[in-house]
Chains A and B, each alone.
Chain A
Amino acid sequence: MTEVGARAVGASVRRVEDPRILTGRGRYLDDVVLPGMLHAAFLRSYAPHGRLLSVDVAEALELPGVVAVYTGADMQRLTEPGKPGVIAGMDQMPGMALPASYGLAVDKVRHVGDPIALVVAESRYLAEDALELIEVDIEPLEAVVSYADALDPAKPPLFEEVGSNLAFQMELPLGDVDGAFARADRVLTATISVHRHHPNPMETRGIVASWDSAAQKLTLHASTQSPHMLRLLLPPQIGVPMEQIRVLAADVGGGFGLKNSVFREDVAVAAAAKDLGRPVKWVEDRLEHLATGGHAREEKADVELAVTDDGRIIGARLDLVLNVGAYLADPFPGSTMAMAAVMFFQGPMKLEALGAKATSVFSNKATYVSYRGPWATGDFLRERSLDIVARELGLDPVEVRRRNYVVRDESPLAMLTGTPYLGVTTRECLEEAVRLLDVPAFRERQEAARAEGRYLGLGLAAYLEGAPPPKTNGERQADIVGDETTYLAVDERGRVVITTRQQPHGQGHQTTLAQVAADELGVRFTDIDVLWGDTDITPVALIGTGGSRAATMANGSVLHGSRALKAKVLALAAELLEADAGDLELADSTVSVRGTPGIALPLAELARIVATEPERLPDGVDADLRITEVFDGGEGGWSGGVHACVVEVDVETGLVAFERYVVVEDCGLPVNPAIVEGQIRGGVAQAVGAVLLEHAAYDEDGQFVAASFLDYLMPTSTLVPDIEVHHVQTVLNDPDVNFRGVGEGGMIVAPAAITSAIEDALAPFGAQVREQHLPPSRILELVGTVPVR
């Protein structure tokens, strides 16, 4: 870590956030305490699927300290049902089922943890005491659990109005699929699956809702990635107009995509606070969170590969099914991720044609949410496919990747979807990873180790991440997230104030946006304040922080906005200094005349004059030092790279240890390399969890069996390897903005690299890894010492 030097961008500047967060002085949702605040707890369904016959709250209401108990009937009285996805235009997509729902179950329960009643009491303890006094009668219905269940017309539909358990269906033919298969030397098939796991941030969900009946204004403190999202989604449900809702979010303890949703609990708590006229706090506990906070990634695909004898995949057919659970996330229904996954199958692969069918199905499981690279199953399918080709043809997986990954400035120049491979450096990253791991030497070592009964494996995988990607035919592809607006100003103290729509929850925007502004403006890093998390002052945006977009979009917006603000400052200073603006420079928070030492106007003095001595300003001069900058992403570009690792598998216990983990990546120009590397390492850690530990498992009856940290295992420091991060020389696409997103990359690619390494280690046993989750029990099945369960 370094202090800020002459140039802030590109330096691992110490995070402004750290003294606060690392010493426990951050302000998270649970730190919010309001006068007269009440506490909420939800009664949740024990049954996976059933008719809700009755909910008797009489005894609970009699418990001293209980203020109110709400049921589904109350929600019908106080609210309108939520229509997921509508604000994002999902109702315009063919094949999409978007059943509406209330904050609490009305006539059915649809998964373990489905909220049935909401107790509001003087303390959370009392609220939980009251939960035990509510009597619920549920008539069980047959549970819909597996893909097969959901596709079986004989099983009961979760939502009668949908008529089946089909949530989404689409077909996507790209290129001449039949032609590609006709030209293939062979066709390989496999069924590849990714298991249900979830973001599980350190801070769970939660909200504090407060109704000001005099002003008719609702204030929400939220643990969210997107404060404005609550203002945009809640009004039709709770009957408070958007302009009467203020959302505040200070520090947020992680989100990973999960907190880019408005939840049914948010609706119920907001309705209760408005009904009671008192602030109500709900902080989700870990048991609730594991069961209902939001799951992700339950997909399987039948993959058919058109392969040439030299190891190229020229065409593919995918039939992918996604298990979306019961209630759809709002505004981004998980069902749409089936489409995202098949579209990202190609990645950096020279595929000539892709025939994809994507289906999403409802089941009696928790809501499917976006999780760090929501399309990542597509990348997993591609990288597994490349390893399948390598084994089938007896080729080294490295060589197969050399033959399949695109080469910059060579054909094909664009993906099948039309997005150009402009500046793509996948092959450079691959060769550097191969060099770092010294693959030929590894193969010799692997052979020697096997002779001693030790099983080493090497795996690698590549990915591309566009946030945003290069333009297609000079046009930005349609993007519901939109342009990035930032407000920049010099305030009356001469401090630069950046007001961002981003909602940092671990990304360090307070630091990085100030780094960009410091360089562009010539203002000291410490003279810059970054404001966020208050919808009364921040630019409106459906998404705050998500989609790895801040690097390009927010930094780019700040970069251009800083230039515009600087021009304003210099123009004004020129008037006061009676100099030509072209002769002025702004450095170290002071305006000076080039070549004329001694004439200097500190920014603080300039601001003071504007605020307190406006009479000194010439008539008609623009003294409004405020900028609204709207940035469209510029030329965009690819982040991407290759992850490669060496593992050792103990074939007696099924435990996997990492010997080395290497990331070679291109994220453009990093604003703060330490933050970039932290993003990458965090993603890899989550991937270690996904592959080796985490499984949000349900039994065949739909009971949730990963309901505590005894059963849902998160990666710990002893299991996550040292992760080496190497950067390759990037190709600059944009004249000004070449910072690119890294938020999702680690988690997108690492599961494929790790599974690839494990399969390589187990090659002597003939193991074929077709799934992402490889706990010890599964590894011993692959080794052949334990019968397949």
Chain B
Amino acid sequence: MKPAPFAYAAPTTEDEVLDLLAEHGDEGKVIAGGQSLLPMLSMRLARPSVLIDLNGVAGLAGITEFDGGVAFGATTRERAAERSALVGDRLPVLAEALPLIGHEAIRNRGTIGGSIAHADASAELPAVAAVTDAQLVLRSRAGGERVLSAAEFFQGHYTTALADDELLTEVRIPGSPPGAGWAFTEVARRHGDFALVGVAAMVVLDDAGSVEAARLCLMGVADVPLRLPAVEASLAGQPVSADTVAAAATDAVAGLELASDVHGSGDFRRHLAEVTVRRALTTAADRAGAPA
């Protein structure tokens, strides 16, 4: 479990990082918290020629207000976000998801941008980005800056729209619709594990107590964080009831193609997904003010 040989670069400015990425292309790999990359290096599953360390780069970390929500510099530590009053105030779904990421020691190192750029479809932050319609700021020497939606950004397991010479510099999460209830629910065999399945949900109720808008994102069931627009749309206008929620949960898992692994069969995961969608929607509706 020792990495294959690599060169190590320790730039101090974003410009230097972009120059290094332009020079090394797909042979270069940025490292921030290293919580996913280091094990992959040690198991020789990742073999970059050049490791570009972002930890000494000034100005890449920080938590600021953005459009009623919050913007995160890419190297903002997960633990810093977890402890941020602004996050607690404006992004309840992120606040609920953060403590589920690994353990405190992992969150002390792991970064918001790192987890999203790594794009593990079982990870919490990509699901949060997808359910909140986050915007991802990408910069490169050749292409300057572009801003992608989460839907555009996540393309597959460990695969994103990031070009080889591009750096994810900022994650912008817009504010919550007024009155929205949010929930982040996952099932993991142990606290801190990659979840078997997780669901981020939002419910907004109208004056009559029916669903005005809903969002649903499943993690761990596809190669990307899976938004379900059809199910979200079908919930609109429905009264909040156990039947409504159960029907949505059934719909949500109907089309999933799930593989078996050492933790359980595809049927097992489908069952868990259905239970978790139901639980997340119920909690989100409760938090939106639905009568118990």
Partner-B contacts on A (CB < 8 A) = 124-125, 128-129, 132, 285-287, 652-653, 655, 692-693, 695, 697, 705-706, 708, 710-711, 713, 715-716, 718-719, 775-777, 780, 785-787, 789
Chain B residues with CB under 8 A of A132: 4
Chain A residues with CB under 8 A of B267: 786-787
Flag if A786 contacts B268 (CB, 8 Å).
Answer: yes
Most buried by B among A128, A711, A777, A780: A777
B262 CB within 8 Å of chain A: yes
Flag if A653 contacts B272 (CB, 8 Å).
Answer: yes
The 5 residue pairs across chains A and B that have the minimum distance between CB atoms: A777-B264, A285-B1, A718-B191, A125-B2, A777-B268
- Residues 240-267 of B contacting A (Cβ, < 8 Å): 260-265, 267
Most buried by B among A128, A708, A715, A719: A128
Flag if A287 contacts B43 (CB, 8 Å).
Answer: yes
B23 CB within 8 Å of chain A: no
Q: CB-nearest residue of chain B relative to A705?
A: B262
B271 CB within 8 Å of chain A: yes
A719–B262 Cα gap in the complex (Å)?
20
A786–B253 Cα gap in the complex (Å)?
14
CB proximity of A431 to chain B, nearest CB, Å = 35
Q: List 18 A-B contacts (CB under 8 A).
A: A125-B2, A125-B3, A285-B1, A287-B1, A287-B43, A652-B275, A692-B189, A693-B189, A693-B190, A706-B262, A713-B189, A716-B192, A775-B264, A776-B196, A776-B268, A785-B271, A786-B271, A789-B260
A789–B268 Cα gap in the complex (Å)?
9
Flag if A286 contacts B275 (CB, 8 Å).
Answer: no
A655–B263 Cα gap in the complex (Å)?
13
- Residues 175-207 of B contacting A (Cβ, < 8 Å): 187, 189-194, 196
Chain A residues with CB under 8 A of B44: 128
Q: CB-nearest residue of chain B relative to A719?
A: B190
A-B pair number, CB within 8 angstroms: 72
Flag if B262 contacts A695 (CB, 8 Å).
Answer: yes
Apart from A287-B1, A716-B190, list 14 A-B contacts with CB within 8 A.
A287-B43, A705-B262, A711-B261, A713-B190, A718-B190, A719-B190, A775-B263, A777-B263, A780-B268, A780-B271, A785-B271, A786-B265, A787-B265, A787-B267
CB proximity of A129 to chain B, nearest CB, Å = 7
A789–B191 Cα gap in the complex (Å)?
25
Chain A residues with CB under 8 A of B2: 124-125, 128
Flag if A710 contacts B43 (CB, 8 Å).
Answer: no
Flag if B191 contacts A711 (CB, 8 Å).
Answer: no
Chain B residues with CB under 8 A of A715: 190
Partner-A contacts on B (CB < 8 A) = 1-5, 43-44, 187, 189-194, 196, 260-265, 267-268, 271-272, 275
A287–B43 Cα gap in the complex (Å)?
9
A151–B44 Cα gap in the complex (Å)?
39
Q: CB-nearest residue of chain B relative to A715?
A: B190
A287–B40 Cα gap in the complex (Å)?
13
Q: CB-nearest residue of chain A relative to B188?
A: A655
Chain B residues with CB under 8 A of A777: 263-265, 268
Q: Helix, strand, loop or mixed for chain B's interface?
A: loop
CB proximity of A234 to chain B, nearest CB, Å = 27
Contacts A775-B189, A776-B189 given; indicate if A710 touches B265 (C-beta within 8 A): no
Chain B residues with CB under 8 A of A287: 1, 43
Chain A residues with CB under 8 A of B261: 711
A787–B267 Cα gap in the complex (Å)?
7
Flag if B262 contacts A711 (CB, 8 Å).
Answer: yes
CB proximity of A589 to chain B, nearest CB, Å = 45
Q: Which of A285, A697, A710, A719 contacts B194 (CB 8 A)?
A: A710
A129–B3 Cα gap in the complex (Å)?
9
Q: CB-nearest residue of chain B relative to A695?
A: B262
A630–B265 Cα gap in the complex (Å)?
57
A125–B3 Cα gap in the complex (Å)?
7
Flag if B193 contacts A713 (CB, 8 Å).
Answer: yes
Flag if B5 contacts A129 (CB, 8 Å).
Answer: yes
Chain B residues with CB under 8 A of A787: 265, 267
A286–B42 Cα gap in the complex (Å)?
11
CB proximity of A755 to chain B, nearest CB, Å = 17
A785–B272 Cα gap in the complex (Å)?
10
Chain B residues with CB under 8 A of A780: 268, 271
Chain B residues with CB under 8 A of A705: 262
Chain A residues with CB under 8 A of B271: 780, 785-786
A84–B191 Cα gap in the complex (Å)?
42
Flag if A716 contacts B191 (CB, 8 Å).
Answer: yes
Q: CB-nearest residue of chain A relative to B194?
A: A710
Chain B residues with CB under 8 A of A789: 260, 264-265, 268
A124–B272 Cα gap in the complex (Å)?
43
Q: CB-nearest residue of chain A relative to B275?
A: A652
CB proximity of B269 to chain A, nearest CB, Å = 9
Chain B residues with CB under 8 A of A718: 190-192
A86–B44 Cα gap in the complex (Å)?
40
Chain B residues with CB under 8 A of A653: 187, 272, 275
A715–B192 Cα gap in the complex (Å)?
12
A653–B279 Cα gap in the complex (Å)?
11
CB proximity of A542 to chain B, nearest CB, Å = 33
Chain B residues with CB under 8 A of A697: 262
CB proximity of A787 to chain B, nearest CB, Å = 5
CB proximity of A690 to chain B, nearest CB, Å = 14
A695–B263 Cα gap in the complex (Å)?
10
CB proximity of A754 to chain B, nearest CB, Å = 15
A416–B160 Cα gap in the complex (Å)?
67
A652–B276 Cα gap in the complex (Å)?
9
Most buried by A among B43, B44, B262, B272: B262
Most buried by B among A286, A287, A653: A653
CB proximity of A538 to chain B, nearest CB, Å = 33
A129–B4 Cα gap in the complex (Å)?
7
A693–B192 Cα gap in the complex (Å)?
14
Chain A residues with CB under 8 A of B196: 776
Chain A residues with CB under 8 A of B194: 710
Chain A residues with CB under 8 A of B190: 693, 713, 715-716, 718-719
CB proximity of B255 to chain A, nearest CB, Å = 19
A786–B271 Cα gap in the complex (Å)?
7
Q: CB-nearest residue of chain A relative to B1?
A: A285
Q: CB-nearest residue of chain B relative to A789?
A: B265
Chain A residues with CB under 8 A of B265: 777, 786-787, 789
Most buried by B among A715, A716, A718, A776: A776
CB proximity of B227 to chain A, nearest CB, Å = 23
A695–B264 Cα gap in the complex (Å)?
12
CB proximity of B232 to chain A, nearest CB, Å = 23
CB proximity of B52 to chain A, nearest CB, Å = 20
Chain A residues with CB under 8 A of B5: 125, 129
A778–B171 Cα gap in the complex (Å)?
40
A262–B3 Cα gap in the complex (Å)?
29
A125–B265 Cα gap in the complex (Å)?
38
Chain A residues with CB under 8 A of B187: 653, 655, 776
A723–B44 Cα gap in the complex (Å)?
41
A708–B264 Cα gap in the complex (Å)?
16
Chain B residues with CB under 8 A of A716: 190-192
Chain A residues with CB under 8 A of B260: 789
A693–B275 Cα gap in the complex (Å)?
21
A197–B11 Cα gap in the complex (Å)?
46
A216–B172 Cα gap in the complex (Å)?
69
A695–B262 Cα gap in the complex (Å)?
9
Q: CB-nearest residue of chain B relative to A286?
A: B1
Chain A residues with CB under 8 A of B1: 128, 285-287
A776–B43 Cα gap in the complex (Å)?
29
A169–B272 Cα gap in the complex (Å)?
44
CB proximity of B165 to chain A, nearest CB, Å = 28
A426–B271 Cα gap in the complex (Å)?
43
Q: CB-nearest residue of chain B relative to A716?
A: B190
A643–B191 Cα gap in the complex (Å)?
25
Chain A residues with CB under 8 A of B275: 652-653
A785–B265 Cα gap in the complex (Å)?
12
Chain A residues with CB under 8 A of B263: 711, 775-777
CB proximity of B120 to chain A, nearest CB, Å = 11
